[in-house]
Chain A
Amino acid sequence: GAGVSQTPSNKVTEKGKYVELRCDPISGHTALYWYRQSLGQGPEFLIYFQGTGAADDSGLPNDRFFAVRPEGSVSTLKIQRTERGDSAVYLCASSAPGQAGTGELFFGEGSRLTVL
């Protein structure tokens, strides 16, 4: 596709359940980011991939959160034992080769997660 694609756009789940959020970056983009955004706040960094490896996962809040990018393209953010505080919009972004260090990211529309 032309832009970053995220699925599902909306996810409602119950406390304690497992959730997977998918991100399909722009074709050819080697860098991929996950952010989380709560109402009224800016995006909060979670994790950054360069190719298949997680170059920086310092933003993951705890070990219930995990992300993979096995083939260097699509990425999945996995949340175990969801809590109500996990409710937020999860944003994915990608960056062209050589552009990640300049701060030029392309964001998807986000996946809105609601934990009841």
Chain B
Amino acid sequence: LAKTTQPISMDSYEGQEVNITCSHNNIATNDYITWYQQFPSQGPRFIIQGYKTKVTNEVASLFIPADRKSSTLSLPRVSLSDTAVYYCPYMEYGNKLVFGAGTILRVKS
């Protein structure tokens, strides 16, 4: 059964690079890896997606090793506004996206 595991929380300081790693147990061959960001009182926001190797957009980078058993979300030079919960959900039989508790990222000044 597919499942993802990620740290409960992380602390960082402004200007630092933050890397959040997610383990993807039993990820299916065809599944993409996606990451979401959620601020208080808002719905989750899709931030990046990849299948393998590295993907970069204006928000973050996503690193996926060849075996696809993990992924690392990299946030360059974080600011206070990056304080949020970050999720790496997994796909369950078809189009059912399942979320865990996520990683609470706290950025301090």
| Partner-binding segment picked from B14-22, B37-45, B70-78 | B37-45
Q: Nearest Cβ in chain A — how far from B47, in angstroms?
A: 10
With both beta carbons as reference points, the residue of chain B lying nearest to A56 in the complex is identified as: B96
**Known contacts A42-B87, A103-B32, A109-B42: A31-B98 contact under CB 8 Å:** no
Contact partners of A106 in chain B: CB under 8 A: 46
Contact partners of B30 in chain A: CB under 8 A: 101
Q: Which of B31, B43, B49, B95 has the most CB of A within 10 A?
A: B43
Give Cα A45–Cα B42 distance, bound, in whole angstroms: 17
| A41→B101 contact, CB < 8 A | yes
| A107→B96 contact, CB < 8 A | no
Q: Nearest Cβ in chain A — how far from B46, in angstroms?
A: 5
| B101→A45 contact, CB < 8 A | no
| A103→B99 contact, CB < 8 A | no
Contact partners of B46 in chain A: CB under 8 A: 104-106
| B95→A48 contact, CB < 8 A | yes
Interface size range of chain A in the complex? 20 to 34
Q: Is B55 an interface residue (CB 8 A)?
A: no
| A42→B101 contact, CB < 8 A | yes
Q: Which of A43, A91, A103, A107 has the most CB of B within 10 A?
A: A103
Query: Residues 93-115 of chain A: 1 if any B CB is under 8 Å from the residue's CB, otherwise 0?
Result: 10100001111111111100000
Give Cα A101–Cα B43 distance, bound, in whole angstroms: 20
Query: Residues 86-109 of chain B: 1 if any A CB is under 8 Å from the residue's CB, otherwise 0?
Result: 010101001111111110000000
| A109→B99 contact, CB < 8 A | no
Interface residues of B, Cβ cutoff 8 Å to A:
30-32, 34, 41-46, 49, 85, 87, 89, 91, 94-102
